[in-house]
Structure 1
């Protein structure tokens, strides 16, 4: 019973970790208004680890489409083939194992102290468990087309959900994530 409760509490804690927090960084010395065109820096999507269970042409296609749509909404146009773009785009999908210790205390009825020290109460019991889980990070890098230096980066992470979803739900979730990352591009 207590183990089920501990696992349930941890699941709630992990779902709280699925924050909308996006990490962004940029070169404040760059004139982002001067960037008008973009192109993919190949490989457009890099995976860490390079694991065939993670690597997917379908995932890459969804990311490419979502990023392209968001950049278009922000006034950047895909450069014509053979034309050097103002900005090169590269994305990363990083999946890593993490671990969290979860402690559950039970038993005892509390304690009552007195001003001279000492206490009365029942014994306390508890259990600490280690819970393993996976976290995925989607990172979008924008590099200057002239010097190749990183000018803007945005990323967010989520706990990987083992429940399979349908392709439409995956695509919608990815679009939402990419929109969240690029929400504050160009920086003001």
Structure 2
């Protein structure tokens, strides 16, 4: 019984330690070495849902700075005129649930009791949590078509973060997403 009770916190700890899942998709017919400049596609940062607890000018500023730094690392410069790429970022927060079940059983009885029967118990727990997805879309500025998309998911913590911790986490996620962008 004690072993099974310890299983639930262990599963939660493992779920909290999961690395961010990073995904990407792109148009393989495009010559990414031809893209040299970028600009923001307005609105630059989209929030889903449009909840004031999620949608924040401070969060948008942090995302814009982190994306600009990473695009610069990839040799893409902010456009002073017409850009080669237009950038849009989505911050999507989903509510999710996960069910954990544990159970056990055995038989009860004794040599003096003629009946030996099963003893079965089950423990079901439902965990509710939020997952944030940061998605970065790069569009060809000439034809407006999506040429590259990268995204990462991360489970949100209930712990209150400082502004520096928020900026650091956003930089880390943006770095992981744009690490998938083709290097020139």
Q: How far is 1:15 from its partner?
A: 1.1
TM-score by length of structure 2 reads 0.87
Q: How far is 1:6 from its partner?
A: 5.7
Mapped to 2, the partners of 1:20 and 1:100 lie a distance apart of: 17
Higher strand residue share:
2
Question: Secondary structure of 2:33's match?
Answer: helix
| Corresponding residue for residue 86 of structure 1 | 84
Q: 1:43-69: per-residue Cα shift (whole Å, max 9, x none)?
A: 110011011110011100000000000
| Corresponding residue for residue 10 of structure 2 | 9
* Segments ≥4 residues shifted beyond 6 Å: 1-4
| Corresponding residue for residue 105 of structure 1 | 103
Give runs of aligned pairs for residues 68-147 of structure 1, distance below 5 A: 68-80=68-80, 83-108=81-106, 122-147=118-143
Give runs of aligned pairs for residues 15-30 of structure 1, distance below 5 A: 15-16=16-17, 18-30=18-30
Unpaired segments of 5 or more residues in structure 1?
110-119
| Corresponding residue for residue 32 of structure 1 | 32
Superposition RMSD on alpha carbons, in Å? Answer: 2.2
Q: How far is 1:124 from its partner?
A: 2.4
| Corresponding residue for residue 57 of structure 1 | 57
Aligned partners of 2:150 and 2:180 also within 8 Å: no
Aligned partners of 1:95 and 1:134 also within 8 Å: yes
Aligned partners of 1:105 and 1:124 also within 8 Å: yes
Q: How far is 1:70 from its partner?
A: 0.3
| Corresponding residue for residue 159 of structure 1 | 155
Question: Secondary structure of 1:108's match?
Answer: strand
Q: How far is 1:106 from its partner?
A: 4.0
Mapped to 1, the partners of 2:182 and 2:117 lie a distance apart of: 61
| Corresponding residue for residue 110 of structure 2 | none
Aligned partners of 1:6 and 1:102 also within 8 Å: no
Q: How far is 1:122 from its partner?
A: 4.9
Q: Which moved more, 1:121-130 or 1:32-41?
A: 121-130
Query: Is 1:45 aligned to 2:45, yes or no?
Result: yes
TM-score by length of structure 1 reads 0.85
Aligned partners of 1:142 and 1:152 also within 8 Å: yes
Mapped to 1, the partners of 2:106 and 2:93 lie a distance apart of: 41
